[in-house]
Amino acid sequence: MPSTFAPEPPYTHGQAERTAVLLCNLGTPDEPTAPAVRRYLAQFLGDHRVVEIPKLLWWPILHGIILRTRPAKSAAKYASIWTPEGSPLAHWTAKQATLLRGWLGEAGHAVLVRHAMRYGNPSIASQLDALKAEGATRILILPLYPQYSATTTASVFDAVYTWAARTRNVPELRFVNHYHDAPGYIDALARTIETHWKHHGQPDQLVMSFHGVPERTLHLGDPYHCEARKTGRLLAERLGLREERYRITFQSRFGKAKWLEPYTQPTIEALGKAGTRRVDVVCPGFTSDCLETLEEINMEVREAFLHAGGQEFHYIPCLNDNNHWITALSRVAQQHLAGWPTEAPTAAALADARSHAQAGGAPAGACPVAH
Ligand SMILES: C=CC1=C(C)c2cc3[nH]c(cc4nc(cc5[nH]c(cc1n2)c(C)c5CCC(=O)O)C(CCC(=O)O)=C4C)c(C)c3C=C
Ligand SMILES: [Fe+2]
Ligand SMILES: [Fe+2]
């Protein structure tokens, strides 16, 4: 009878056990074209964590209307922010993994670090397969979402569980739910803003804009709203801003349902109409610049503010490859790695792992565990 599990390489043979971190982000289309955006949106909006409408009702809307109309419009927006390195989200996420690898590989430590995308490439399953092939027997799943939401964080976890369910020799797994109040993360955000203000002076209003989610998810127990507001409050406290100097808003509404309020664009338009001269916008929930920050905020919302009578609009970039942010991320990782060996394998461990493959009378290379 054929096995339901794919054959796995006897990956521990000739290798010592390794600890790994998998940074997970949302994902992005492979190209700024309608077919590539359609493939991406089909996977994204077909995820029941993202759109909680029963499949029987949602599928005809998604495949009959949304995936026929939205990809071309979204592709044009993606084209407006695309860089020679590709999608900004993909570029920054890959760079964060490279920089974190430097941090976690220092002083005799040898933690493997990779990145994966929940939708699109490189997929979570392909990166978990690759880590296993490199000898990872302990994997920390670290979503690049500081605030927990079932729509994002839990969906990453779903993809990991799905991979584990088809894997025979499952590594030890740990999951980071959130770090919305981690001092290093708040400090990195504050320093980015302070650096901007050092060069450009302070605004009349600082708007902290977070991605929205449907309001009903808050009533159903999703902590995202509270975590986003707490990040905002801690950031304001760290900056020494009094309440009248900042707002916490929610952007990127999708569909007709009520989402978390206040909405970013109407709030900023109202500020412009009320005579607010300068608004600065920062997006603390996005750890990488992406379509929602570079196009929606820095293009659409900027234009709406200036059109409403505002004079100056400053967009403050996301944490991206900021040194303080990578330090904060490494602290979050280290806290969750506690108790797991992270040292580089010793020569003795490597020799032991190599010799066991020939030992014990089993077919050469067949035994998965040193004995
Ligand atoms: C930061 C956290 C995010 C949450 C929470 C989130 C929820 C959420 N998003 C949609 C629908 C769309 N989001 C889109 C883009 C997008 N969303 C996030 C992050 C969160 N989304 C990011 C980082 C991005 C940008 C990706 C990039 O390639 O740069 C899009 C696609 C773009 C478009 O066609 O407009 C959609 C659609 C829902 C429905 C939702 C919660 C229910
Ligand atoms: Fe989104
Ligand atoms: Fe709340």
| Residue 292 assigned ligand-binding role | yes
What's residue 132's pLDDT?
93
What's residue 96's pLDDT?
98
Give the confidence band of 106 by pLDDT, cuts at 50, 70, 90.
low
Task: Note the ipTM here.
Answer: 0.96
Give the confidence band of 105 by pLDDT, cuts at 50, 70, 90.
confident
Nearest CA to ligand 1 atom 12: 254
Q: How far is the CA of 284 from the centre of ligand 1 (A)?
A: 15
At 206-241, the pLDDT tens digits run 999 999 999 999 999 999 999 999 999 999 999 999
Per-residue b or e along 49-74, where b marks 16 or more CB atoms closer than 10 Å to that residue's CB: bbbeeeeeebeeebeeebbeebbeeb
Nearest CA to ligand 1 atom 35: 74
Mean pLDDT score, 149-172: 98
Q: How far is the CA of 142 from the centre of ligand 2 (A)?
A: 18
Task: For the domain covering 183-316, report its CATH number.
Answer: 3.40.50.1400
Residue 38 in this model has a pLDDT that exceeds 60: yes
Residue 11 in this model has a pLDDT that exceeds 60: no
C-alpha closest to that of 93 among 323, 285, 288: 288
What's residue 357's pLDDT?
53
Tracing tokens 């905020």 back to the chain, one arrives at: 297
Minimum mean pLDDT among 5-19, 108-122, 179-193, 212-226: which range? 5-19
What's residue 369's pLDDT?
64
State which CATH number among 3.20.20.120, 3.40.50.1400, 3.40.50.970, 3.40.50.1580 fits the domain covering 16-27+87-178+319-347.
3.40.50.1400
Tell me how many degrees the CA angle 320-201-268 measures, rounded to the nearest 5: 70
Nearest CA to ligand 1 atom 15: 292
Residue 249 in this model has a pLDDT that exceeds 60: yes
* DSSP symbol at 6: P
Q: Which atom of ligand 1 is nearest to the CA of 214?
A: 42
* DSSP symbol at 63: I
Q: How would you class 5 by CB atoms within 10 Å of its CB: exposed for 0-12, middle for 13-18, buried for 19 or more?
A: exposed
Give the confidence band of 186 by pLDDT, cuts at 50, 70, 90.
very high
- On the CB side of 275, how many CA atoms lie within 13 Å of its CA? 0
Name the token pair of 274.
């009320």
The CA R_g of the chain, rounded to the nearest whole Å, is 23
How many residues are listed for the chain in this entry? 371
CA distances from 121 to 26, 94, 117, 198, 307 (A): 10, 11, 6, 38, 38
At 71-83, the pLDDT tens digits run 999 999 999 999 9
* DSSP-derived 3-state class of residue 345: coil
| Residue 180 assigned ligand-binding role | no
Minimum mean pLDDT among 113-122, 274-283, 321-330, 338-347: which range? 338-347
CA dihedral of 22, 25, 31, 36, whole degrees rounded to 10? 100
- Residue list, ligand 1 pocket, CB within 6 Å: 26, 28, 50, 70, 74, 87, 89, 145, 149, 151-152, 211, 213-214, 252, 254, 285-286, 290-292
Q: How far is the CA of 226 from the centre of ligand 3 (A)?
A: 3
* DSSP symbol at 134: T
Ligand 1 mutation target, pool 253, 292, 296, most atoms within 8 A of CB: 292
pTM: 0.95
Give the confidence band of 360 by pLDDT, cuts at 50, 70, 90.
low
Query: 231 in the Ramachandran plot: left (φ > 0), alpha (ψ -120 to 50) or beta?
Result: alpha
Q: Which atom of ligand 1 is nearest to the CA of 81?
A: 29
Mean pLDDT score, 262-266: 98
Give the confidence band of 359 by pLDDT, cuts at 50, 70, 90.
low
C-alpha closest to that of 271 among 299, 233, 309: 309
Name the token pair of 296.
């929606």
d(CA 35, CA 63): 13
C-alpha closest to that of 323 among 27, 122, 102, 17: 102
